[in-house]
Structure 1
Amino acid sequence: MDALTGLLEGPRARGAFMIRTCFDPPWSVRIEDRAPLTVMLLVRGDAWIVPDRGERLRLRPGDLAIACGPDPYTCADDPGTAPQALILPGGACHHPDGRPLNGVMDLGVRTWGGRPDGETVMLIGTYRMRGEIGGRLLDALPPLLSLTADDRHGPLTPLTPLLTAEIMRDEPGQEVVLDRLLDLLVIAALRAWFARPEAAPPAWYEAQGDPVVGPVLRLLQGDPAHPWTVAALAAKAGVSRAALARRFTERVGEPPMTYLTGWRLALAADRLRATDDTIGAIARHVGYGSAFALSTAFKREYGASPQEWRTRAAQRG
Structure 2
Amino acid sequence: MDPLTHLLDGPRARRAFTLRVVMSGSWSIDVQDKAPLTVVAMMTGHAWLTADGDSHRLSPGDVVLVRGPNPYTIGDDPLSATDAIIHPGQICTSASGQDLILEMSHGIRSWGNATQGKNTMLVGTYESDTEVTAAVTQGLPRVAVVPAGHVSVELVKLLEREITTDAPGQGSAADRLLDVLLVHTVRAWVQLHPDAEQGWLAGSTDPVSAGALELFHSRPESGWTLASVAQSLNISRATLASRFRSSVGGPPMSYLTNWRMLLASEMLADAQMTTAKIAKAVGYASPFAFSTAFKRRYGVSPTGYRTHNYRAN
**Selected match of 2:206 from 206, 210, 216:** 210
Residue type of the partner of 1:55?
A: D
Alpha carbons 1:156, 1:189 under 8 Å: kept: no
Letter paired with 2:98? R
Alignment of 1:39-118 (within 5 A): 39-51=39-51, 53-118=52-117
CA distance in 1, matches of 2:305, 2:196: 30
Return the offset for 1:11: 6.9
Give me the identity figure in percent: 43
Aligned partners of 1:7 and 1:136 also within 8 Å: no
Q: Could you tell me which runs of 5 or more consecutive residues in structure 2 were left unpaired when the two chains were aligned.
A: none
Matching of residue 227 in structure 1 with residue 223 in structure 2: yes
Most deviating of 302-311 and 114-123: 302-311
Q: Render the CA deviation track for 1:140-196: whole Å, top value 9, x for unaligned.
A: 3332222221xxx24433322222333222211111111111001111111122233
Secondary structure of the structure 2 residue equivalent to 1:108: coil
Task: Provide the residue aligned with 1:281 in structure 2.
Answer: 277
CA distance in 1 between partners of 2:11 and 2:39 (Å): 12
Please say if residues 22 and 118 of structure 1, whose CA atoms lie closer than 8 Å, have aligned partners that are also in contact. yes
SS at 1:264 equivalent: helix
Deviations 1:236-277 (A, max 9, x none): 4344556545544444344433332222123224444x4544
**Cα pair 2:4 2:183 within 8 Å, conserved:** no
- Change beyond 3 A, Cα 1:155–1:289: same
- Tell me the SS of whatever aligns to 2:111: strand
**1:87 partner letter:** I
1:171 maps to 167
Is this contact kept in 2: 1:46–1:58, CA < 8 A?
yes
CA contact (8 A) 1:3 1:208 kept: no
Residue pairs, 1:138-217, within 5 angstroms: 138-149=137-148, 153-197=149-193, 200-217=196-213
State the shift of 1:231 in Å. Answer: 4.9
Give secondary structure in 1 for the equivalent of 2:207.
coil
TM-score when normalising by structure 2: 0.86
Q: Could you say which residue in structure 2 is the equivalent of 1:123?
A: 122
RMSD: 2.9
CA distance in 1, matches of 2:98, 2:308: 30
Shift of 1:214: 2.0
Unaligned runs of 5+ in 1: none
Matched to 1:82, the amino acid is A
Corresponding position: 1:290 with 2:289? no
Task: Measure the CA separation in 2 of the matches of 1:132 and 1:13.
Answer: 11
Does the CA-based 8 Å contact 1:23-1:120 persist in structure 2?
yes
* Contact kept? 2:82, 2:95, Cα under 8 Å: yes
Preserved CA contact (<8 Å) 1:11 1:134: no
8 Å Cα contact 1:4/1:205 also seen in 2: no
TM-score scaled to structure 1, two decimals? Answer: 0.85
The alpha-carbon deviation at position 3 of structure 1 amounts to: 5.0
Partner of 1:267: 263
Corresponding position of 2:18: 18
CA distance 1:146–1:168, shift in 2 (3 Å)? same
Q: Cα–Cα, structure 1 residues 262 and 206, in superposed 2: closer, same or farther, change >3 Å?
A: same
Rate the CA distance shift 1:101–1:246 in 2: closer, same or farther, 3 A.
Answer: closer
Task: Flag the 1:70–1:254 CA change in 2: closer, same or farther, 3 A.
Answer: closer
